[in-house]
Amino acid sequence: MAAGTEIAIVGGGLVGAAIGLGLVRGGASVALYDEGDIAHRAARGNLGNVWVQGKGLASPPYAELTRRAALAWRGFAAALTDETGIDLRFRQDGAFFCCFSPEELDKRAGQLEATEARSQIPSGYARVGLSDMRADFPMLGDDVAGATFCKLDGMVDPLRLLRALLAAFQKRGGRYLPRARVESIAPDAGGFHIASAAGVGHADRIVLAAGLGNARLAPQLGLEAPVRPARGQILITEKLRPFMPRGISFIRQTADGGLICGESSEEAGFEEATTRNVLQDTARRATTVFPFLRDVRAVRAWGALRVMSPDGQPIYQHSTDYPQAFLTSVHSGVTLAPFHAGPLAGAIAAGALPDDIAMPFSPARFHVQATRAA
């Protein structure tokens, strides 16, 4: 039987683990319920980008949130490595987003310039031509029209990040419950009864960070999580000599030398299987950027499910029915990790979300158009 705790977090992926670490750093007693490796673990399909450019094109609050998190990443990574001894393979040297026609480049550059003009936090955005890109990548293909560049963009190994978050959480006294899928949550006068595969536990407060599982659990707490799965497919190459001094949006070279390639997003329900046409398209785009990859072997491929809201932006909610309950649904678990372990965890500990988070990221935004139409 699971014991009682001050705060229970449902979901032991990147989002839940980061929030949990932030809470135990603040002195809270926290239990982290994790379904385990059978869960639809988004980190498995995460390229590992700390990514700013393109985020918040239609949402200044999301752009600001992303930029603040990216600025905090260097110190966050250093502290986590110091605490756990785990090298996150973190780099923040800027990254490129390749465009394959002048029209695509013009459109993207215009979007990023508009976002930059609205933002109070500079991202170091630049439009870069093919010849300038070849200063970093001499082997770049001729069919690349150019790119956009952002100096705040970087990369990290998402599985090492998850391992480090969980290690630091437990080192500081957090209680990690693996193989503990939460089936139901029942509010009572003193908090919440949590029925899981590990038994029945009790918590004074609760945070839902269960990814796609939030859609099932949220209504039990007067919360809302209109999230759906978006399948991404990843292609891994054999090990190569280091040749990427910076990242490219859909190509990352690991410390071991292999390339992780992928940027697909499909509506496929809960099916994680790979498909030939998507992997072929990924390979085509990668070899357009780097033609020499036509002679490189692909050694592995897999699919994973991302957590997507209707507008692709985070959902942060504080229940009005049960004020001790919170929800977070995010697909940018890597980029926003410093925010989740820092300001968000602090707000949850204090018992309320600040207006600059509660208002723009509430699921109520999905009902505004319907309300106006009525």
Please tell me the distance from the alpha carbon of residue 269 to that of residue 371, in angstroms, as a whole number. 29
| b/e code 141-153 from CB counts within 10 Å (16+ = b) | beebbbbbbbbbb
Right CATH number for 4-48+159-226+312-373 from 3.30.420.40, 3.40.50.170, 3.50.50.60, 3.30.1490.100? 3.50.50.60
3-state secondary structure at position 155? strand
What pLDDT score does 266 carry?
83
DSSP state of 238: P
* For residue 310, pLDDT beyond 50: yes
pLDDT tens, position by position, 60-106: 999 999 999 999 999 999 999 999 999 999 999 999 999 999 999 99
Please tell me the distance from the alpha carbon of residue 174 to that of residue 242, in angstroms, as a whole number. 38
How many distinct helices (H) and strands (E) make up the chain? 11, 18
Answer whether 46's CB lies under 8 Å from 260's CB: no
What pLDDT score does 1 carry?
43
pLDDT band, very low/low/confident/very high, at 374 (cuts 50, 70, 90): very low
What pLDDT score does 44 carry?
55
Picking from 12, 62, 65, the residue whose alpha carbon sits closest to that of residue 41 is: 12
pLDDT tens, position by position, 189-205: 889 999 999 999 999 99
What is the Rg, in whole angstroms, of the alpha carbon atoms belonging to the chain?
A: 21
pLDDT tens, position by position, 256-303: 999 999 988 888 788 888 899 999 999 999 999 999 999 999 999 988
User: Would you list the domain boundaries of the chain?
Assistant: 4-48+159-226+312-373, 95-151, 228-308
Query: CATH for 228-308?
Result: 3.30.9.10
> Model pTM?
0.94
pLDDT band, very low/low/confident/very high, at 2 (cuts 50, 70, 90): low
Handedness of CA 266, 271, 277, 279 (dihedral sign): positive
Residues linked to residue 5 through DSSP beta bridges, in sequence order? 203
pLDDT band, very low/low/confident/very high, at 36 (cuts 50, 70, 90): confident
